[in-house]
A = this chain, B = another copy of it.
Amino acid sequence: MPADPDRATGALYRTVAADLREAITAGRYGEAGRLPAEGALAERYGVSRGTVRQALALLRADGLVTSRRGTRRVVLGTARVQSFSELLSFTHWARSMGEEPGGRLESLVRRPADATECELLRLEPGTEVYVTLRLRTLSGTPVMVERTVYPPRVGEIVAELPADAVSHTEPLREHGILFTDADHTIDVVAANTEDARLLGCRRGSPLLREKRRTTDPTGTPVEWSQDRYLPGTVAFSIHNSLASSALSRHARDGD
C-alpha cells in the first residue's frame, strides 16, 4: 500500500505535488498562507513551470489551494485527501481509519441479468450475472449491507473467493481486473426486511444509500453495487470548485 498516492507513478509532477501536499498538510505555508510563485517552485525542484502547473492542478482539484490570476496561490485547507481506492473499497477505507474491516458473504447467486442490469453493465439481454449480498462490519459491528452485481468475467473470480474474504477488490486486482472510474449516487432509502435483519435495525428505518457503477480503463463496466449504511456510521465529503467540478446534484428518478 503506497503511503502517498501521488508518488504512485514516477511522474515528476506527482512527486512535486506530493512534496507540496506534505508541506501544506504540515502547515509549512500556514493556514491561508501564500505559496511560492510557480517560477520559484520550478527553480526549486529543477523542473519547468509547466510541470509545476500540472502538480498544482492536482492540489487545486483537491481543494488544497486556490488559484487566481494576478496573485499567488493561497492555501485553502489542510485537507484530508483520500485515494480513489479508499473510496471504492470498504476494506481500504476502513484500514485507512485504523478500523478493522470485516465481511460476511450472505449469498451469492448466478442468474440472468434483468433489463437495467444489462443496461448498466452493458451486457447482452439474458447474460448471466453474479449477485452477491454481503454484510460489512467495522471492528465487529455491522455498518453496511452491500449488494453487488458482477458481469460473468468478474463474477467467476468472485465466486471462487472464500466466503469470509474481507476484500473483494484486492484479489480482483491481482486477477487483472482494474478499477479506474466510478459513478456514485447518494441518497436516503428505507430499510427493507432483509436490511433490517442484517443490520439489526427496524424495517423502514432510514439508511444512507450509495449506488456505484465502476468501469475499467477500457470503459467496460466491472461492477454495479448498492451499499446501504446505517446512519451515523459514514458521511460522504466532496470538494468542488469553479475551476473543476466533479459533483452534481440531481432529482431522484426512482431507482
Contact = CB atoms under 8 A, between A and B. Distances in A.
Interface in A185-200: 185-190
A47 B246 CA distance: 26
A31 B184 CA distance: 20
A186 B245 contact: no
A76 interface: yes
Interface in A231-255: 231-252
Contacts of A164: none
Interface residues on A, range: 35 or more
Interface in A60-85: 61-63, 66, 68, 74-77, 80-84
A242 B244 CA distance: 16
Interface in A89-146: 93, 97, 99, 122
Given A75-B219, A87-B249, 16 more contacts: A32-B122, A32-B219, A61-B246, A63-B246, A76-B215, A80-B250, A83-B245, A87-B247, A97-B250, A185-B237, A186-B237, A186-B238, A187-B236, A234-B249, A237-B248, A238-B248
